[in-house]
Structure 1
Amino acid sequence: MKPIVTIAETTQPDGTVLALQEHDGRRFLLSDNVQIASPATKVSERELARIACAPFRPIRQPRIWVTGLALGELLEGLAESVPQKRATFYVAEPSDELADWHREFYPEGTFATDKRVFRVHGVDTGALNSLDSPLHGILLHADTAPLHPRGRGFFEDRRWLSVAYDTLQEGGLLAVASSRRVPKMDRNLENAGFEVAYHEIDAIPNARRPKTHHLWLARKGDYTSHAH
């Protein structure tokens, strides 16, 4: 049996131990020994980006926010789905060490090489409010995104959802994916003012035992009339 190799490890300011591991050619990101990003989340991260960004393909300068860097799969999916050279990708990643790992261990990845990528050092409402232009999209995978200081997902925080809504331009989308069905997700998004559509993602294509991940598309207003 091939061993599990710890490539890098660090203790975050809040005491959380973040680790990058590899086993049999596959990499995993762990937080306090719990996997938060792995091959198991890759498909739904890519599908999150593909489905959420489809309406913005005709736009010349789309501005998309990615909540957390993780193993980079969501960002890679975004780069594939939004080829426009004048696009802007804001990657909200509070961990300096994780950003450094990407530059060291993924030197050819989108985060290290794509000039459209700008790192934002926080995920909270202050980080969203710091942007100088409205966003077309906000992407968040519940399994891989950084957690709220209270230990829950930012998508569960009413104030964060309200600021996300205000940060989006008319027709913009907040897209949230998860490996589990999140209770009250639809209601929380609707209470923040969004129109919500729910989709299911086949997280393990062609598997004998299908694995379903979940995707919520939360729209602010009318895309066709107002998004540019």
Structure 2
Amino acid sequence: MKPIITIAETTLPDGTVLALQEHDGRRFLLSDKVQIASPATRVSERELARIACAPFRPIRQPRVMVVGLALGELLEGLAEAVPQKRATFYVGEASEQLAEWHREFYPDGTFATDKRVFHVKGCDTAALNSLDAPLHGILIHADTAPVLAKGRGLYEDRRWLSVAYDSLAEGGLLAVASSRRVPKMDRNLENAGFEIAYHQIEANPHARRPKLHHLWLGRKGEYVGHQ
């Protein structure tokens, strides 16, 4: 039996222990010994980026924020879905240590090599308000993104959703994926002003009994292309 190897570990300011582990060639990110990113979320992270960013393919300079760096799968999916050289990708990640792990252990990854990527210190309302131009998209995977106090997701916070709405350009999308149904997700997005579309994603298309993950797209107003 192959051992579990702890590649790196750190304690965050709030006391949370964050660890990067590897087993049989597969890597996992754990928060207080609970997996928050792994090969199990890879497909839905990539599909989240592909589906959510499809409307932005004609835009010359799309601006998209990824909420939380995790293992980088969502960012990798974004880079594939949005090939424009003048795009801007903001990665909202409060942990500088996690950013350093990517530079050290994923030196060929998008976060370390793509000049379109900018690291934003955090993904809270202050981080959104710090951006100097409206976003075309905000991408969150509920399993891998940072959470608020008591384990609540940002997408469950009225104030954060309101600021996210204001941070988007007309026609911009807030996209949230999750391995489970999120209670009141539709209502939370509607109350913030978004028009909602719902999709299901096969977490592993090659499995005999594919598990479905969930994707909500919240649109702000009417889409305006070619910006």
Q: Deviations over 1:125-157 (max 9, x none)?
A: 011001110000000000000111343100000
Which ranges of 4 or more aligned residues in structure 1 deviate by more than 3 Å? none
Question: SS at 1:78's partner residue?
Answer: helix
Paired residue secondary structure (2:174): strand
SS state of the match for residue 221, structure 1?
A: coil
Amino acid at match of 1:90: Y
> Secondary structure of 1:170's match?
strand
CA deviations over 1:169-212 (Å, ceiling 9, x no partner)? 10000000000000110010000000000000000112112110
With 52-61 and 146-155 compared, the bigger mean Cα shift is at 146-155
User: 1:109-188, aligned counterparts within 5 Å?
Assistant: 109-188=109-188
Instruction: Name 1:106's counterpart in structure 2.
Output: 106
Q: How far has the Cα of 1:122 moved from its partner?
A: 1.0
Q: Does residue 21 of structure 1 match 2:27?
A: no
Aligned to 1:57: 57
Instruction: List gaps (5 residues or longer) in structure 1.
Output: none
1:79 alignment partner AA: A
Deviations 1:12-33 (A, max 9, x none): 0000000000000000000000
Match of 2:83 in 1: 83
**Cα deviation code 1:12-59 (max 9, x no counterpart):** 000000000000000000000000000000000000000000000010
**Matched length:** 227
C-alpha distance in structure 2 between counterparts of 1:97 and 1:34, whole Å: 18
* Contact 1:172/1:227, CA 8 A, preserved across alignment: no
SS of residue in 1 equivalent to 2:151: coil
The question of whether the paired residues in 2 share the 8 Å contact of 1:6 and 1:22 is answered with: yes
Q: State the one-letter code of the partner of 1:16.
A: T
Runs (5+) with no aligned partner, structure 2: none
Q: Matched residues, percent identical?
A: 82
Taking only aligned residues, the RMSD between alpha carbons, in angstroms, comes to 0.9
Q: Identify the residue that residue 43 of structure 1 maps to in structure 2.
A: 43
CA distance in 1 between partners of 2:133 and 2:87 (Å):
13
Between the aligned partners of 1:156 and 1:97, the Cα distance in structure 2 is 26
TM-score (norm 2): 0.98
Q: Is the 8 A contact 2:56 2:225 kept in 1?
A: no
Distance in 2 between residues matched to 1:67 and 1:89, nearest whole Å: 11
Cα distance change of structure 1 residues 227 and 220 upon mapping to structure 2, 3 Å threshold: farther
Q: Secondary structure at the match of 1:210?
A: coil
